[in-house]
Structure 1
Amino acid sequence: MAEQDPGFRERRGLKRNLFAHVVESLGARIVKGELGPAMPFPKEADLCVEFGASRSVIREAVKALAARGLIASQTRIGIRVLQPFNWNLLDADVLNWRYSAMPPQQFYGELFEIRRMIEPAAAHLAARRRTRREIAAIADAFARMSRASRIDRSGIEADLSFHRAILVASHNALLLQMGNLIAVGLDIAHRISADSFVVFLPLHEAVYEAIERRDGEAAAAAMQHLLSETHEFMRSRMHALSTRRP
């Protein structure tokens, strides 16, 4: 069967990589303002030439961008870039494109404003609603954070598991959509300072312990403290990095 043909798998992999490249390139251009609502969107044939891609790859990429709210395709009008308020800013790719287009401190500031609005409330709900299985998942994530090396990605994966487990324990499906915001924030933090999660282990532990004893007020306060301290730490690191650049 074709599915078992190594050549077929290789060609499929190349096509997926090219598709991802087209989506990444066009998405970043839109978010940076290089392609805007008042500008004509590149023609399909021109994009095929630019990227060395087939029409099917370009069409798939256009659909992917439309699914993220960046563009829309209409009969007679064609493809047009949408205003930023249409963009799905909870999508991980869109978040990363925004990060690449904005001063890091501005992006990180926006991110933490939202996290401070959402995560303390989630921790409060988790303390009231969590099950034995859910508190065990939070405990396991914290244990993995404690064991993780500060130089590899195991720490950031455990950190993300910790925060996502709290969102799950809140028993609010809408809060789960905030997971991408947290994931992008942690990834950026790891790139800037690989030891950031180690520095704040005691603050994570305070959140976990408050949720474990079902103290909603203490859980919310501990999460607020964790986020405020983390933001200040990362802001100082980003400032130090910016002053070192020529």
Structure 2
Amino acid sequence: MIFSPGPFQRAAPPRKRNLCSQLVETLGSRIVRGDLKPDEVLPNEADLGKELRASRSVVRDAVKTLAAKGLLETRTRTGTRVLAPMHWNLLDLDVLGWRYAAMPREQFFRELYEIRRLIEPGAAEMAAERASAADIAALAEAYAAMDTTDHSSDAAIDADLRFHRQVLACTHNELLVQMGSVIGVGLLVSFRISSDSYGASLPRHGEVLDAIRRRDPAAARAAMERLLMGTRDSITRELKERG
């Protein structure tokens, strides 16, 4: 739903695409987990292909993909080296997924929450200033879907994501709209930790909608801040109870 295939996967033939994506997943996970250390040199294409049971061309494509994500660097004389985390594209959905699998849930959720708190209140404020009537109608439809769907279902996550993405769309700022994928990861992580927060946060989503509908930027910002802080508090309690 949220972690979608990249362009290199869509463009490749089916079998090669499948093998390449598996290899990207394997190597990317190893790097993010720390099994492959920064500055470590990967085996050459032939040896790596033998280890992972893939052709040299598939290995080459996988390395190119990981290099584009900032995890690897290939040089003519020194070979392919692992890059330090400071070079990684941390907003890439694959990298986010690997970090989610490798990191403590508390740390991953905290990082995503901090990003969301920097972005979404300001976006809600801007939405109240810029949203068209059609934008607000779409936001209201997303909220209605949140209200009527089974709160423990995948449809609930989809409706929640649709709401938050529509807030970003209401800003008419394409760079903000691009942040929707990161917001989606944050929502998915929250839901996986606790689906109970969904029902508790529903009225706060309504407050965001009402403020944007009233064209009240300050109220929209405040409502989104309350929504995010409420989610944070709920997830924090859940994590503490689990120990």
TM-score, normalized by length of structure 2?
0.90
Q: Distance in 2 between matches of 1:107 and 1:201?
A: 23
For residues 163-221 of structure 1, give each alpha carbon's deviation from its aligned partner in whole angstroms, at most 9, with x where no partner exists.
11111111222212321221111111222223432221000010011011110000000
CA contact (8 A) 2:71 2:88 kept: yes
Q: Note the 1:23-172 alignment, pairs <5 A.
A: 23-172=24-173
Q: Give the length in aligned residue pairs.
A: 232
Q: Shift of the alpha carbon at 1:20?
A: 1.7
Give the aligned partner of residue 226 of structure 2.
225
Where does structure 1 lack aligned partners over 5 or more consecutive residues?
Answer: 1-11
AA aligned opposite 1:26: L
- Matched letter for residue 66 of structure 2: L
Report the identity percentage: 52
1:47 Cα shift? Answer: 2.3
Report the CA distance between 1:157 and its aligned residue.
Answer: 0.8
Deviation at 1:130, TM superposition (A): 0.6
Give the ranges of 4+ consecutive aligned residues of structure 1 lying more than 4 Å apart after TM superposition: none
Deviation for aligned residue 1:240: 2.1
User: 1:177 matched to which residue of 2?
Assistant: 178
Once the two structures are TM-superposed, the CA of residue 18 in structure 1 deviates from its matched residue by: 2.3
Mean Cα deviation higher: 118-127 or 108-117: 108-117
Q: Tell me the distance in 2 between the aligned counterparts of 1:42 and 1:209.
A: 57
Aligned residues: CA RMSD = 1.6
Aligned-residue offset at 1:37: 2.2
Higher mean displacement: 34-43 or 225-234: 34-43
Q: Which residue of 1 aligns with 2:208?
A: 207
- Which 5+ residue runs of structure 2 have no aligned equivalent? 1-12
The 8 Å contact of residues 39 and 83 in structure 2, kept in 1 or not, is answered as no
- Distance (whole Å) between structure 2 residues aligned to residue 110 and residue 160 of structure 1: 18
TM-score by length of 1: 0.89
Cα contact 1:90–1:177 (8 A) shared by 2: no
Q: Which amino acid aligns with 1:146?
A: D
Q: Which amino acid in structure 2 is aligned with residue 229 of structure 1?
A: G
Which range moves more in the overlay, 160-169 or 191-200? 191-200
Q: Quote the Cα distance in structure 2 between the aligned partners of 1:149 and 1:81.
A: 44
Q: Could you say what secondary structure the match of 1:40 adopts?
A: coil
Contact 2:41 2:79 in 1 (8 A): no
What are the Cα deviations for residues 78-98 of structure 1, in whole angstroms up to 9, with x where unaligned? 211222121111111111111
